[in-house]
Amino acid sequence: MEEIVVTAIVFFGIYQIIKLFSDHFLKRKIINSGHFEKADILGPAVENIEKENRYPSLKWGLIAFMGGLGLIIIETIRVNRPEFINVHDAFMPLGIELVFISAGFLLYFFIANRKSN
């Protein structure tokens, strides 16, 4: 089973490298022929990328803040109530941390949507 997974990963990597080079050469050929407006056929336009991710520092700042807050909550619970979180029961801290990280993503989503409207 392991050999199949390794083989699939190697072929997928080779496919991605070939696709990268072929897209690059096709874009270069389109641009050299003077068709600048058609150069984004092979990938998303630059305006769409900037529109999707307007506030990257806000996003990663909120995620890091909420992740750190989750770790603080986990440590506080572990110190004050050791029966809730012990070393052998690792699902509770993982769940708490994932909830806080997802809350950071949701908070970013709501802030970005409010600013765009």
Task: Please write the tens of the pLDDT for every residue from 68-112.
Answer: 999 999 888 888 887 776 666 677 888 888 999 999 999 988 888
User: CB within 8 A of 50, min separation 6: which ones?
Assistant: none
Confidence of residue 23 (pLDDT cuts 50, 70, 90): confident
Buried b (16+ CB within 10 A) or exposed e, 25-50: eebeebeeeeeeeebeeeeeeeeeee
Q: Write down the domain spans for the chain.
A: 1-49, 53-117
For residue 41, the model assigns a pLDDT of 60
3-state helix, strand, coil in the chain (%, to 5): 80, 0, 20
Give the C-alpha separation, 101 to 29, whole Å. 43
Low-confidence winner among 20-24, 27-31, 39-43 (lowest mean pLDDT): 39-43
Q: What percent of the chain lies above the pLDDT cut of 90?
A: 22
In contact, 115 and 51? CB cutoff 8 Å: no
Tell me the mean pLDDT in the region 35-51. 58
